[in-house]
Amino acid sequence: MRNTLILIKHEIINLLRNPAILAVVLLPIFMSKIITTTMKMADQEFLLLSIWILFAQVMVGIMLTGPNLIEEREAKTIDALLCSPLNFGQIIFAKGFAILVLSMFSQIAVYLINEGFNSSIFPLLIPMLVGGIIFVQIGAIIGLKIESSQSGSALSSIVMVSLFLIVSVYELLPEWTHKLFVLIPSIGVTEVLNNLMTYNEFLIYQGSIVLVWVIIFSLWLTNIGRKWTH
């Protein structure tokens, strides 16, 4: 446990020292304020804040985790760490947790810069955390499965943009399709966030789907770990 905590601390420090990574973390915060203010002036507020919280989740979770893991694989950093007392699961957990910390910071900052500090943020911390975990997991799967950093960055961008944009357009599609689209992780997370902010009620069905995705991706990563170490 101590070795894992040391690695988490080391990862967070390294991430914060990289200006490009800081830009990825801060971008959703400033974009949300600028665009939210503009859209409010135009009376267009469809899922606005929840979409920008989602943007922080997918931007930080996928775009940092995937390419970073591929770079570390190419540099043999993970192989070197496997020679330490840490096992594969602990290494990936530490690296993922460090990025999750940045994801939570970005999400919370998006809320605070737009709504200010109030008690409504506390129920939102759960879907923020679970959503953050899902997109870090997706990034980790990309980072561990794709061989080259160029391909990994491209795929990470495609997945990130697709998961973000689908939330903006699915409501325009026929209503009967909504039950299918809610199976997509980004839509489930956004609906839970939006319902909590609007009605202060937790959507059990959508929340359950999101938790199922966490379990599925956890099992997938466990399977990758078995293949990696054998």
Percentage of the chain modeled with pLDDT above 90: 55
pLDDT given at position 192: 95
Whether residue 47 has pLDDT greater than 60: no
Q: Is residue 134 within 8 Å of residue 214, measured between CB atoms?
A: yes
In angstroms, the CA 52 to CA 230 distance is 41
In angstroms, the CA 50 to CA 188 distance is 11
Whether residue 43 has pLDDT greater than 70: no
Tens of pLDDT along 154-193?
899 999 999 998 998 887 788 888 888 999 999 999 999 9
Tens of pLDDT along 104-147?
999 999 999 998 899 889 999 999 999 999 999 999 999 988 88
In angstroms, the CA 26 to CA 110 distance is 9
Average pLDDT score over the chain: 88
In angstroms, the CA 177 to CA 170 distance is 8
pLDDT given at position 136: 97
Q: Is residue 214 within 8 Å of residue 202, measured between CB atoms?
A: no
Taking the C-alpha atoms of 25, 163, 223 and 92 in order, what is their torsion angle to the nearest 10 degrees?
Answer: 0
How far CA 161 is from CA of 42, 56, 90, 210, in Å, comes to 24, 12, 29, 19
Tens of pLDDT along 55-87?
999 999 999 998 888 887 777 777 777 777 778
Nearest Cα to 106, choosing from 164, 55, 168? 55
The first and second tokens of residue 57, run together, are: 């989740």
In angstroms, the CA 211 to CA 109 distance is 24
217 vs 4: which has the higher pLDDT:
217
> What would the DSSP string read from start to end of 20-37?
HHHHHHHHHHHHHHHHHH
DSSP 85: S
Q: What is the pTM of this model?
A: 0.92
Mean pLDDT of 16-28: 93
Whether residue 33 has pLDDT greater than 80: yes
The first and second tokens of residue 179, run together, are: 């039950």
In angstroms, the CA 204 to CA 186 distance is 16
pLDDT given at position 190: 94
